[in-house]
Amino acid sequence: MQSLWMLVSALFFALMAACVKLASAHYGTAEIVLFRSLVGVVVLFAYARLTGQSLLTSVAGMHIRRSVMGVTALALWFYAIGKLPLGTAMTLNFSSPLFSTAFVIGAALISGRRVPWALAGCVGIGFAGVVLILRPSFVAGHELPALVGLLSGFLSAVAYRHVRDLGRIGEPEWRTVFYFSLCGSVLGLIGAVPDGLTRDHTAAGLVTLIAVGVSATLAQLTMTRAYGKGRTVLTANLQFSAIVFAALLGMVVFGDRIGFAGWLGIGIIIASCVAAAALVARRPATPILESTIASAHK
């Protein structure tokens, strides 16, 4: 089944997060964003040249808005990864489908259209899971990184709406990811210059930075194959296995400890997102589908 490529993609995303956590012990967030994005630029530039595709676009403004929002979300997520248990940071960022669904429900309320109350219930239950995850973080004195991780999920949801709009006007996905990676490289370089000029780089540190970019690129490639060849709803649900992979990696590699409330919150968020995707599958005309299933564009 081609949808099972999403399990491979989820594992690569979890490995990327683990590499980010390792790299954060030696480098700042901007430097990690730079290397994560630079690999994507090189790979996609080579792809465009080898296949004769054009990098030019007539909607540069839309790409800039999507890219700046996405890179900001990425940087906030990387910061949270460096400060929180790996599974917790992953879960907070993967709350973006809940925000995407909430956007659609809010738009329905404002316009006076029929509100999908079943979806609203999934959102409410999902955010109850978020509260369960945040509570132990606040107790442990991780208030700021926990809120930063949640904000990364919110901004990711906003960025995905821009991705959806670009797709609707015919922009190919690879070009959207290219400009996102290019923006990340530029902004990352600007932020990395002050520290990079005075930092003593080590071979081990550089390996972790390169590993972030390589694992992220492999995650995107396998994700693209899963969505391109597999069943959309099944693929969308399998992406949440990245949370489980990340939590297990955190426990094995970093000695993370997630209490009962944290595990319960993770389970509730995954269940609510899966339920929302299933409900959306029964409503093919609703515009939320693209936003709900797109949470792997990182």
The pLDDT score that the predictor gives to residue 107 is 77
What CA–CA distance (Å, rounded) separates 112 from 271?
Answer: 29
- Which stretches of the chain are DSSP H helices? 5-23, 29-51, 60-83, 86-93, 96-111, 117-139, 143-168, 173-196, 203-229, 232-238, 241-253, 260-281, 288-293
Q: C-alpha 137: how far from its chain's center? A: 20
- Name every residue whose Cβ is closer than 8 Å to that of residue 261 and which is 6 or more positions away in sequence: 132, 133, 135, 136
**φ, ψ of residue 177 in degrees (nearest 5):** -65, -35
What CA–CA distance (Å, rounded) separates 216 from 195?
Answer: 24
pLDDT for 74-105, tens place per residue? 999 999 999 999 988 988 888 877 787 777 77
Residue type (1 letter), 254:
F
286 φ/ψ sector (left φ>0, alpha ψ -120 to 50, else beta): beta
Residues 130, 154: contact at Cβ < 8 Å? no
The two tokens of residue 103 are 């956007």
Global pTM?
0.84
The two tokens of residue 139 are 């107790």
What is the residue whose two structure tokens read 């990364």? 152
The pLDDT score that the predictor gives to residue 287 is 43
The pLDDT score that the predictor gives to residue 232 is 63
112 φ/ψ sector (left φ>0, alpha ψ -120 to 50, else beta): left
- Which stretches of 230-259 are DSSP H helices? 232-238, 241-253
Residues 298, 32: contact at Cβ < 8 Å? no
Residues 66, 159: contact at Cβ < 8 Å? yes
What is the residue whose two structure tokens read 């400890």? 257
What CA–CA distance (Å, rounded) separates 164 from 267?
Answer: 27
The pLDDT score that the predictor gives to residue 139 is 64
Q: C-alpha 63: how far from its chain's center? A: 17
pLDDT for 157-184, tens place per residue? 888 788 878 888 888 888 988 999 999 9
What CA–CA distance (Å, rounded) separates 114 from 235?
Answer: 28
Which residues of the chain have a pLDDT value below 50? Answer: 284-297
The pLDDT score that the predictor gives to residue 298 is 53
DSSP-assigned letter for residue 113:
P
**φ, ψ of residue 204 in degrees (nearest 5):** -65, -40
Residue 3: which of 298, 236, 221, 172 has the closest Cα? 236
Residues 177, 44: contact at Cβ < 8 Å? yes
